[in-house]
Amino acid sequence: MGGLHEGHASLARRSTSENDLTVVSLFLNRTQFNNASDFETYPANFEQDMALLDDLGVDAVFAPEYDSMYPDSYRFRVIEDRDSKTMEGEQRPGHFDGVLTVVLKLLSLVDPERAYFGEKDFQQLQLVKGMVDAFFLPVEIVPCETARTDEGLALSSRNRRLSVSAREKAPQFPKIMNTAPSAAEAIKRLEKAGFSVEYVVDQEGRRFGAVNLEGVRLIDNWALSIPEWV
Protein backbone atom coordinates (compact mmCIF):
# COMPACT_ATOMS: atom_id res chain seq x y z
CA MET A 1 0.00 0.00 0.00
CA GLY A 2 2.99 2.31 0.41
CA GLY A 3 4.16 4.16 3.51
CA LEU A 4 6.65 1.36 4.02
CA HIS A 5 8.23 0.78 7.44
CA GLU A 6 10.31 -1.84 9.24
CA GLY A 7 7.39 -4.27 9.30
CA HIS A 8 7.26 -4.29 5.51
CA ALA A 9 11.04 -4.47 5.37
CA SER A 10 10.97 -7.61 7.50
CA LEU A 11 8.68 -9.29 4.95
CA ALA A 12 11.04 -8.40 2.12
CA ARG A 13 14.09 -9.64 4.05
CA ARG A 14 12.42 -12.96 4.77
CA SER A 15 11.43 -13.37 1.14
CA THR A 16 14.90 -12.56 -0.19
CA SER A 17 16.40 -15.06 2.26
CA GLU A 18 14.03 -17.86 1.23
CA ASN A 19 13.62 -17.33 -2.51
CA ASP A 20 15.70 -16.74 -5.63
CA LEU A 21 13.53 -13.86 -6.81
CA THR A 22 11.48 -11.38 -4.77
CA VAL A 23 8.81 -9.07 -6.22
CA VAL A 24 7.15 -6.39 -4.08
CA SER A 25 3.80 -4.90 -5.05
CA LEU A 26 3.46 -1.18 -4.33
CA PHE A 27 -0.12 -0.10 -4.95
CA LEU A 28 -2.34 2.19 -2.88
CA ASN A 29 -5.57 0.30 -3.45
CA ARG A 30 -8.45 2.73 -3.15
CA THR A 31 -11.14 0.01 -3.40
CA GLN A 32 -10.39 -1.18 0.15
CA PHE A 33 -11.00 2.26 1.69
CA ASN A 34 -14.52 2.84 2.91
CA ASN A 35 -13.51 6.32 4.09
CA ALA A 36 -12.37 8.75 1.37
CA SER A 37 -10.46 10.96 3.81
CA ASP A 38 -8.49 7.95 5.06
CA PHE A 39 -7.42 7.23 1.48
CA GLU A 40 -6.48 10.85 0.84
CA THR A 41 -4.37 11.13 4.00
CA TYR A 42 -2.72 7.71 3.80
CA PRO A 43 1.00 8.39 4.42
CA ALA A 44 2.47 6.84 1.27
CA ASN A 45 5.60 8.32 -0.33
CA PHE A 46 6.56 6.56 -3.55
CA GLU A 47 10.11 7.91 -3.75
CA GLN A 48 10.92 6.99 -0.16
CA ASP A 49 9.33 3.56 -0.58
CA MET A 50 11.33 2.84 -3.73
CA ALA A 51 14.56 3.91 -2.00
CA LEU A 52 13.87 1.52 0.89
CA LEU A 53 13.10 -1.36 -1.48
CA ASP A 54 16.29 -0.64 -3.40
CA ASP A 55 18.26 -0.81 -0.15
CA LEU A 56 16.59 -4.13 0.69
CA GLY A 57 17.74 -5.63 -2.60
CA VAL A 58 14.38 -6.81 -3.91
CA ASP A 59 14.50 -7.91 -7.54
CA ALA A 60 11.44 -6.10 -8.88
CA VAL A 61 8.70 -3.70 -7.81
CA PHE A 62 5.24 -3.98 -9.34
CA ALA A 63 3.66 -0.50 -9.09
CA PRO A 64 0.66 -0.33 -11.44
CA GLU A 65 -1.76 2.53 -12.01
CA TYR A 66 -5.36 2.26 -10.82
CA ASP A 67 -6.84 2.05 -14.33
CA SER A 68 -4.46 -0.79 -15.20
CA MET A 69 -5.60 -2.83 -12.20
CA TYR A 70 -9.28 -1.98 -12.61
CA PRO A 71 -10.02 -1.68 -16.35
CA ASP A 72 -13.58 -2.79 -15.50
CA SER A 73 -13.96 0.09 -12.99
CA TYR A 74 -14.23 -2.49 -10.18
CA ARG A 75 -17.35 -4.06 -11.68
CA PHE A 76 -16.07 -7.56 -10.95
CA ARG A 77 -14.93 -8.25 -7.40
CA VAL A 78 -14.32 -11.00 -4.82
CA ILE A 79 -16.88 -11.21 -2.00
CA GLU A 80 -16.58 -13.45 1.06
CA ASP A 81 -19.89 -13.65 2.91
CA ARG A 82 -19.05 -14.92 6.40
CA ASP A 83 -15.75 -14.13 8.12
CA SER A 84 -15.34 -10.80 6.31
CA LYS A 85 -18.48 -9.41 7.95
CA THR A 86 -17.13 -9.20 11.52
CA MET A 87 -14.56 -6.95 13.25
CA GLU A 88 -12.78 -5.03 10.47
CA GLY A 89 -15.45 -5.93 7.97
CA GLU A 90 -18.21 -4.66 10.23
CA GLN A 91 -16.40 -1.39 10.93
CA ARG A 92 -15.30 -0.89 7.32
CA PRO A 93 -18.05 -2.11 4.95
CA GLY A 94 -16.65 -3.28 1.63
CA HIS A 95 -13.06 -3.22 2.90
CA PHE A 96 -12.37 -6.91 2.43
CA ASP A 97 -14.04 -6.97 -1.00
CA GLY A 98 -11.34 -4.55 -2.11
CA VAL A 99 -8.56 -6.44 -0.32
CA LEU A 100 -9.45 -9.85 -1.72
CA THR A 101 -10.06 -8.51 -5.21
CA VAL A 102 -6.70 -6.77 -5.46
CA VAL A 103 -4.82 -9.68 -3.88
CA LEU A 104 -6.37 -12.07 -6.41
CA LYS A 105 -5.32 -9.74 -9.22
CA LEU A 106 -1.78 -9.35 -7.88
CA LEU A 107 -1.30 -13.09 -7.38
CA SER A 108 -2.66 -13.81 -10.85
CA LEU A 109 -0.38 -11.25 -12.51
CA VAL A 110 2.85 -12.03 -10.63
CA ASP A 111 2.24 -15.78 -10.24
CA PRO A 112 4.51 -16.26 -7.19
CA GLU A 113 5.32 -19.54 -5.48
CA ARG A 114 5.04 -17.85 -2.06
CA ALA A 115 3.40 -14.65 -0.81
CA TYR A 116 4.28 -13.06 2.53
CA PHE A 117 1.68 -11.40 4.77
CA GLY A 118 2.05 -9.88 8.23
CA GLU A 119 0.04 -11.19 11.16
CA LYS A 120 -0.88 -7.68 12.29
CA ASP A 121 -3.79 -7.90 9.83
CA PHE A 122 -4.67 -11.38 11.05
CA GLN A 123 -8.27 -11.35 9.84
CA GLN A 124 -7.04 -10.32 6.39
CA LEU A 125 -4.41 -13.07 6.47
CA GLN A 126 -7.02 -15.74 7.19
CA LEU A 127 -9.32 -14.46 4.45
CA VAL A 128 -6.49 -14.45 1.90
CA LYS A 129 -5.63 -18.04 2.89
CA GLY A 130 -9.27 -19.02 2.48
CA MET A 131 -9.51 -17.37 -0.94
CA VAL A 132 -6.34 -19.09 -2.14
CA ASP A 133 -7.76 -22.46 -1.09
CA ALA A 134 -11.21 -21.77 -2.54
CA PHE A 135 -9.85 -20.82 -5.97
CA PHE A 136 -7.10 -23.46 -6.04
CA LEU A 137 -4.35 -20.87 -6.48
CA PRO A 138 -0.86 -22.42 -6.69
CA VAL A 139 0.72 -20.18 -4.06
CA GLU A 140 1.82 -20.70 -0.44
CA ILE A 141 0.67 -17.92 1.89
CA VAL A 142 3.44 -17.35 4.43
CA PRO A 143 2.42 -15.65 7.72
CA CYS A 144 5.02 -13.37 9.31
CA GLU A 145 5.17 -12.20 12.91
CA THR A 146 4.03 -8.66 13.66
CA ALA A 147 6.88 -6.16 13.91
CA ARG A 148 6.65 -4.00 17.06
CA THR A 149 8.36 -1.17 18.87
CA ASP A 150 10.20 -1.92 22.10
CA GLU A 151 7.00 -0.89 23.93
CA GLY A 152 4.95 -3.45 22.02
CA LEU A 153 3.07 -1.13 19.64
CA ALA A 154 2.54 -2.77 16.25
CA LEU A 155 4.29 -0.92 13.45
CA SER A 156 1.86 0.71 11.06
CA SER A 157 2.02 3.33 8.32
CA ARG A 158 -0.70 5.28 10.11
CA ASN A 159 1.51 5.62 13.23
CA ARG A 160 3.24 8.47 11.41
CA ARG A 161 0.10 10.54 11.86
CA LEU A 162 0.23 10.29 15.67
CA SER A 163 1.09 13.45 17.57
CA VAL A 164 3.92 13.40 20.09
CA SER A 165 1.50 13.00 22.99
CA ALA A 166 -0.52 10.31 21.17
CA ARG A 167 2.67 8.45 20.31
CA GLU A 168 3.52 8.33 24.03
CA LYS A 169 0.05 7.04 24.89
CA ALA A 170 -0.33 4.51 22.04
CA PRO A 171 1.70 1.68 23.68
CA GLN A 172 -1.00 1.45 26.34
CA PHE A 173 -3.20 -0.15 23.69
CA PRO A 174 -1.25 -3.44 23.44
CA LYS A 175 -0.43 -3.47 27.15
CA ILE A 176 -4.05 -3.13 28.21
CA MET A 177 -5.19 -5.66 25.62
CA ASN A 178 -2.68 -8.19 26.89
CA THR A 179 -3.25 -7.74 30.62
CA ALA A 180 -7.04 -7.37 30.82
CA PRO A 181 -8.67 -10.63 31.94
CA SER A 182 -11.51 -10.28 29.43
CA ALA A 183 -12.49 -8.37 26.32
CA ALA A 184 -15.07 -6.40 28.30
CA GLU A 185 -12.47 -5.37 30.87
CA ALA A 186 -10.07 -4.40 28.08
CA ILE A 187 -12.71 -2.08 26.61
CA LYS A 188 -13.29 -0.48 30.02
CA ARG A 189 -9.57 0.11 30.62
CA LEU A 190 -8.94 1.43 27.10
CA GLU A 191 -11.78 3.94 27.35
CA LYS A 192 -10.51 5.07 30.74
CA ALA A 193 -7.06 5.58 29.19
CA GLY A 194 -8.50 7.88 26.53
CA PHE A 195 -8.95 5.54 23.56
CA SER A 196 -12.11 5.44 21.47
CA VAL A 197 -12.83 1.72 21.14
CA GLU A 198 -14.36 0.27 17.98
CA TYR A 199 -14.19 -3.35 19.12
CA VAL A 200 -12.37 -5.84 21.31
CA VAL A 201 -13.17 -9.48 20.57
CA ASP A 202 -11.80 -12.76 21.93
CA GLN A 203 -12.06 -15.37 19.20
CA GLU A 204 -10.37 -18.71 18.47
CA GLY A 205 -7.57 -18.18 20.99
CA ARG A 206 -6.78 -14.62 19.96
CA ARG A 207 -7.81 -11.16 21.09
CA PHE A 208 -8.58 -8.66 18.34
CA GLY A 209 -8.92 -4.93 18.86
CA ALA A 210 -9.37 -1.65 17.02
CA VAL A 211 -9.21 1.78 18.62
CA ASN A 212 -8.94 5.43 17.62
CA LEU A 213 -6.47 7.79 19.23
CA GLU A 214 -6.70 11.47 18.27
CA GLY A 215 -8.22 10.49 14.93
CA VAL A 216 -5.66 7.80 14.10
CA ARG A 217 -6.95 4.24 13.85
CA LEU A 218 -4.89 1.47 15.46
CA ILE A 219 -5.57 -2.25 15.08
CA ASP A 220 -3.81 -5.28 16.48
CA ASN A 221 -4.30 -8.85 17.63
CA TRP A 222 -2.53 -11.22 19.97
CA ALA A 223 -2.60 -14.82 21.05
CA LEU A 224 -4.24 -15.02 24.46
CA SER A 225 -1.00 -15.28 26.42
CA ILE A 226 1.23 -12.64 28.00
CA PRO A 227 4.12 -11.57 25.68
CA GLU A 228 7.59 -10.79 27.00
CA TRP A 229 7.32 -7.03 26.51
CA VAL A 230 4.35 -6.58 28.90
Reported as a single tens digit per residue, the pLDDT across 4-15 is 999 999 999 999
Q: How far apart are CA 183 and CA 127, in angstroms?
A: 23
pLDDT class for 35, splitting at 50, 70, 90? confident
Residue 8 is a catalytic residue: yes
Element (H, E) at 117: strand 114-118
Compute the average pLDDT of residues 149-162: 94
Q: How far apart are CA 178 and CA 229, in angstroms?
A: 10
Compute the average pLDDT of residues 58-69: 97
Give the tens place of pLDDT for each residue, 74-106: 999 999 999 999 999 999 999 999 999 999 999
Residue ranges covered by each domain of the chain = 6-144, 157-223
From 3, 7, 8, 172, active-site residue: 8
Would you say residue 230 has pLDDT above 90? no
**157-223, CATH topology level:** Pantoate--beta-alanine Ligase; Chain: A,domain 2 (3.30.1300)
Query: Distance from first CA to last CA of the chain, Å, rounded?
Result: 30
Domain 6-144 class? alpha beta
pLDDT class for 121, splitting at 50, 70, 90? very high
Q: How far apart are CA 152 and CA 200, in angstroms?
A: 17
Handedness of CA 171, 166, 219, 201 (dihedral sign): positive
β-strand pairing of 23-25 with 114-118? unpaired
Rounded to two decimals, the pTM is 0.93
